[in-house]
Amino acid sequence: MSEPELRPKAEKLDAADELAGLRAQFVLDDTVYLDGNSLGALPRSVPGRVEDVVRRQWGSLRIRSWDESGWWTAPERIGDRIAPLVGAAAGQIVVGDSTSVNVFKAVVGAVRLAGGGTEGQPGGRQGPGGKQGPGGRDEILVDATTFPTDGYIAASAARLTGCTLRPVAPEEVPDALSERTAAVLLNHVDYRTGRLHDLPSLTAAIHAVGAVAIWDLCHSAGALPVGLDEHGVDLAVGCTYKYLNGGPGSPAYLYVREDLQPRFDSPLPGWNSHADPFGMTPDYTPAPGALRGRVGTPDILSMLALEAALEVWDDVPIEAVRAKSLALTDFFLECVEAYVPEGAVESLTPSAHAERGSQAALRCAGAGDVMRRLIARGVVGDFREPDVLRFGFTPLYVGFGDVERAARVLGEMF
Ligand SMILES: Cc1ncc(COP(=O)(O)O)c(C=O)c1O
């Protein structure tokens, strides 16, 4: 197809798009914004809410807001708002800290749940789960293609728990698993290529050897159904500033499956996770439920900005978001093929829907420079080392006309 056919096709697809009206709930301009997989756009509901939180809740109510404005319970309340988007029942997610910090809680907590490592051994560190002798669970597997922070934190968690860290490509995890595996940390969608990994079958394989499965949902939550409960995931973490549009540095979240909560032993047992935080006792007793994933005083300003941002999701089924996301990436790849000279770019995005997240990744020579020129022309994606152009498609506010324009302008770069 060529431009005279692709433009009307985009118009037709936009006219039939049942989510098209949601764009009006965001502050956007005439830029084609394809970087929502890095920082989601600003929902219109956020500035007014932040103003109220600052002026009235903080400015007038002051300390009373911990109760009267629901500040104290915000981490679990907002966790329950995120829960349906990732297929979790209420009471299993708390919001707070960064993804990196939650990865730390999850990996150490997973090794303890598995009774792995050397924490409880003579000469090892004391920990309720750590009673494994020689030949026990002493390995943590980490996605070899992971976003770097997960790898760095998992390496530190491995040292602390007396485990060995083994980087493995997600598709090779089934062959790498053994009775020695304590925990496996995987990215649901690869941040560079946009590849979606098979969460149900990998989780089942991890469980088959008695290990604990941890998933990083940064690039999938808000873009596609995750099914945490349905697939029996043990622990999960994710950020809220990408497809959940929570704002720069908005707090992350931690999912701990309900039946594991009584045994979840956080390596960061701050006073907010105490059963009686205002008892101010010297001894630590963990709170019941997901609350034990909390650490210290929640970051109220960004947390309540996130809460306002999540209102966009009222009545939006994640399945409809997924259907539009796949249609957007399909159409983008079709337009790239039509507009970009042959051989100028190579798509890293899997063609099979079952293996595709909500982004397209194109490898090309001089990608950094190409992206700079694209941004100057009003098409905002991003560049990842060494040679990848990334385009993220947020179905809540990206339309098919945007997609056609982005690919057309990209074609003019060569
Ligand atoms: C898969 C993944 N994990 C973690 C992070 C970032 O972690 P943090 O929120 O701690 O900066 C990112 C950021 O892009 C990511 O893509």
Ligand 1 near 218 CB (within 6 A): yes
Distances (CA, A) of 236 to 189, 213, 218, 336, 395: 13, 8, 10, 35, 23
**94 within some domain:** yes
Ligand 1 near 119 CB (within 6 A): no
Tell whether 182 and 264 lie within a shared domain: yes
> Cβ distance 184 to 206 under 8 Å?
yes
**284 within some domain:** yes
Tell whether 309 and 321 lie within a shared domain: no
Tell whether 228 and 347 lie within a shared domain: no
Q: What is the CATH number of the domain that holds 348?
A: 3.90.1150.10
**97 within some domain:** yes
241 belongs to the catalytic site: yes
**337 within some domain:** yes
Q: Which of 191, 214, 220 is the pocket-test mutation for ligand 1 (most atoms within 8 Å of CB)?
A: 191
* C-alpha 100 – ligand 1 centre gap (Å): 7
CA distance 21 to 255: 31
| Residues 6 or more apart in contact with residue 221 via CB below 8 angstroms | 82, 85, 86, 238, 240, 242, 243, 244
Q: How many C-beta neighbours within 10 Å does residue 37 have? A: 25
Tell whether 282 and 135 lie within a shared domain: yes
**42 within some domain:** no
Structural domain range at position 323: 3-30+317-411
**250 within some domain:** yes
Q: Which atom of ligand 1 is nearest to the CA of 239?
A: 9
Distances (CA, A) of 45 to 26, 48, 51: 8, 6, 11
The per-residue DSSP string of 228-284 comes to: TTTTT--EEEE-SSSTT---TT---EEEE-GGGGGG---S---GGGBSSGGG--SS-
Nearest to 162 by CA among 178, 184, 182, 138: 138
Q: Which of 102, 153, 214, 218 is the pocket-test mutation for ligand 1 (most atoms within 8 Å of CB)?
A: 218
Tell whether 223 and 337 lie within a shared domain: no
Tell whether 138 and 210 lie within a shared domain: yes
Q: Which atom of ligand 1 is nearest to the CA of 101?
A: 10
Ligand 1 near 191 CB (within 6 A): yes
> Cβ distance 96 to 294 under 8 Å?
yes
* C-alpha 239 – ligand 1 centre gap (Å): 7
Residue 10 identity (one-letter amino acid): A
At 180-234, the pLDDT tens digits run 999 999 999 999 999 999 999 999 999 999 999 999 999 999 999 999 999 999 9
Report helix, strand and coil shares of the chain as percent, to nearest 5. 45, 15, 40
Tell whether 94 and 13 lie within a shared domain: no
Pairing of strands 212-216, 235-238: parallel
Q: What is the CATH number of the domain that holds 220?
A: 3.40.640.10
Boundary residue ending a domain (279, 313, 347): 313
Tell whether 300 and 321 lie within a shared domain: no
Q: Which atom of ligand 1 is nearest to the CA of 102?
A: 10
* Crossing angle between the packed helical segments 400-411 and 367-376, to the nearest 10 degrees: 120
**194 within some domain:** yes
Boundary residue ending a domain (313, 329, 363): 313
Tell whether 161 and 247 lie within a shared domain: yes
**20 within some domain:** yes
Render each residue's pLDDT in the chain as its tens digit; 414 residues: 787 899 999 999 999 999 999 999 999 999 999 999 999 999 999 999 999 999 999 999 999 999 999 999 999 999 999 999 999 999 999 999 999 999 999 999 999 999 999 987 765 544 444 444 445 899 999 999 999 999 999 999 999 999 999 999 999 999 999 999 999 999 999 999 999 999 999 999 999 999 999 999 999 999 999 999 999 999 999 999 999 999 999 999 999 999 999 999 999 999 999 999 999 999 999 999 999 999 999 999 999 999 999 999 999 999 999 999 999 999 999 999 999 999 999 999 999 999 999 999 999 999 999 999 999 999 999 999 999 999 999 999 999 999 999 999 999 999
* C-alpha 121 – ligand 1 centre gap (Å): 33
- The domain tally of the chain equals 2
175 belongs to the catalytic site: no
Q: How many C-beta neighbours within 10 Å does residue 32 have? A: 23
Question: Measured in whole angstroms, how far is the alpha carbon of residue 288 from the centre of its chain?
Answer: 25
390 belongs to the catalytic site: yes
Nearest to 322 by CA among 361, 352, 353, 349: 353
Q: How many C-beta neighbours within 10 Å does residue 221 have? A: 27
Rounded to two decimals, what is the model's pTM? Answer: 0.96
List the residue whose alpha carbon is closest to atom 9 of ligand 1.
99
For the chain, give the number of residues.
414
Boundary residue ending a domain (260, 283, 313): 313
Ligand 1 near 250 CB (within 6 A): no
Helix (H) or strand (E) holding 68: helix 65-68
Tell whether 266 and 362 lie within a shared domain: no
> Cβ distance 394 to 243 under 8 Å?
yes
Helix (H) or strand (E) holding 28: none
Tell whether 294 and 325 lie within a shared domain: no
Tell whether 233 and 114 lie within a shared domain: yes
At 298-352, the pLDDT tens digits run 999 999 999 999 999 999 999 999 999 999 999 999 999 999 999 999 999 999 9
